[in-house]
Amino acid sequence: MQDRARATRRSLLEAAAHLFVEQGYARTSINEISDLSGRTSGAVYFHYSSKEKLALAVVREQFAAWPSLADRYAAPGIPPLEKLVALSFDIAKALRDDVMTRAGARLWAERRTIDVAIPTPFAVWAAAVTRLLAEARAEGELADEVQPSGIATTLVCAFFGLYDLTEEMADREELSDRLHQWWLLVLKALQARPEPAALVARALAYHQPAPTGNHSRRPGSSGYREGRAMTRFSP
């Protein structure tokens, strides 16, 4: 793909993500995506053919970022439960600050209104959490009664439920604080020798989220305009 076409697709994707976050899939039109991105509606249809395909591209873009989060804790020497907690704070920060991640989450929540199959992140995350819990079991970190596969699904569901309800009932800036409180409760049941406050503190020392770049800036903001200055009027 040529650089100009790649830049066009990127600007359309980012504009769509911002609008999906702000007003949802059903209330977002192709014309609004065109206006916000500075591209023509013809460019939208040329690159994505429909709003459904654009929504699917946003979700896939979100999924593409997940492996890099997990890879940051692949180094040996970090205990599995500390990896799990640190990774959860990375995901929480992305859900709070990164528009592509937030758009993907909202589109999945609105999947029944979208005439295309929206993939779910939960199976991937349940598998990742199962693996970390199994490693914790092998290293003697896990309480005897905890079964990794079953508990992993419960943890993933509870985490995303915490995110959804924080979005609905409180300021999304509170997500990290609520996640901290959640882990203090959950680790008492997970750990063979409970020390939840100390483990969370160690995990937060590893937790150094990568910058989100322009993903957190709405098209039309000064920072975004500077980043798009050379490509805004490309077809």
Give yes or no for a contact between 26 and 67, defined as CB atoms under 8 angstroms apart.
no
> What is each CA distance from 199 to 34, 85, 230, in whole angstroms?
47, 8, 47
Give yes or no for a contact between 44 and 33, defined as CB atoms under 8 angstroms apart.
yes
List the beta bridge partners of residue 191: 142
pLDDT on residue 165:
85
Residue 169 burial (C-beta neighbours within 10 Å; 0-12, 13-18, 19+): exposed
pLDDT on residue 224:
46
CA pair distance 97, 17, nearest whole angstrom: 13
* Residue 142 backbone dihedrals phi, psi, to 5 degrees: -95, 140
Give yes or no for a contact between 67 and 182, defined as CB atoms under 8 angstroms apart.
no
pLDDT on residue 208:
59
pLDDT on residue 186:
97
Residue 218 burial (C-beta neighbours within 10 Å; 0-12, 13-18, 19+): middle
CA pair distance 14, 213, nearest whole angstrom: 12
CA pair distance 227, 220, nearest whole angstrom: 10
Nearest to 70 by CA among 56, 48, 90: 90
pLDDT on residue 3:
83
CA pair distance 27, 51, nearest whole angstrom: 11
| Assigned token pair, 226 | 């500077």
Mean pLDDT by 10 residues, the chain (235 residues): 86 96 95 95 93 94 78 80 94 90 91 90 86 95 94 94 82 83 97 97 77 55 40 33
pLDDT on residue 77:
84
CA pair distance 232, 235, nearest whole angstrom: 9
